[in-house]
Amino acid sequence: MRKFLSLPKEKQDRIVISAMTLFGEVGYKKAYISEIAAAAGISKALVFHYFGSKKGLYSYLVYYTGKIVVTEAQEKRDTRDKDFFESALVTLGFRLSIKSRYPAMSMFMDSVFNENEDEVASDIKRLLAIAADMHAKTTLDAGEESIFRDNVDPKQVVKLVEIYSEGVVSGWDHSSSVDETVAEAALCFDMLKRNLCR
């Protein structure tokens, strides 16, 4: 790994993006090191030299993805003093921002959540834990359930917001900006607030 990290950043990025793209498109089992190497413009032997194996490369990508998500979340995803809907909106904006700046990583993460290969199960579990933490604010804090009207099931509202947010992120294709998409989601969340809250 040290040899890979000593490469120029541009070359590291080329390898990472090529690998994330292929794993994202075809999954772990069907991704071949020779195709990743060809897309990155290096030899297959060099990929093995840097990572030891396909699993080593995949493990590094999981680590790299997790590091970016956690670092950016700490810097840019502030949900303090925000209610459930405001926090859900901040999280949605954060997820879109990640997808906007790291499209290959976003595709890779999507594939990880659908991956069932035993060889990389521990890596998948690690990334799922990071994703669960990222989605954590799409739940209600203690006492927050009281904001809803008596005939409203708070768990169903959380589920509705999660499904809506997931749909926005997975369907977002850069045809509108992150800010425009978040503004549109804010209108939907405001409508929910007006109709479901006291």
- DSSP secondary structure, 115-151, as one string: ---GGGHHHHHHHHHHHHHHTTTSSPPTTGGGGB-TT
For the chain, the domain total comes to 1
Q: What is the CATH number of the domain that holds 146?
A: 1.10.357.10
**What is the CB neighbour count within 10 angstroms for residue 102?**
20
The radius of gyration of the chain's CA atoms, rounded to the nearest angstrom, is 19
Q: Single out the residue of 9, 133, 124 nearest to residue 61, CA to CA.
A: 124
Q: Which long-range contacts (CB under 8 A, 24 or more apart) does 29-32 make?
A: 29/117
Residues 6+ apart with CB under 8 A from 193: 85
pTM of this prediction exceeds 0.75: yes
- Burial level of 142, CB count in 10 A (0-12/13-18/19+)? exposed
Number of H helices, E strands in the chain: 10, 0
Query: Rounded to an integer, what distance in angstroms lies between the CA atom of residue 32 and that of residue 35?
Result: 5
Print the domain residue range for 60: 2-196
Per-residue pLDDT of the chain in tens (198 residues, 90 and over written 9): 788 999 999 999 999 999 999 999 999 999 999 999 999 999 999 999 999 999 999 999 999 988 888 888 777 777 777 888 988 898 899 889 988 988 899 889 888 888 888 999 888 888 788 777 666 555 677 678 888 999 999 989 989 999 999 899 989 988 999 999 999 999 999 999 999 998
Angle between the N-to-C axes of helices 33-40 and 44-51, in degrees from 0 to 180, rounded to the nearest 10: 100
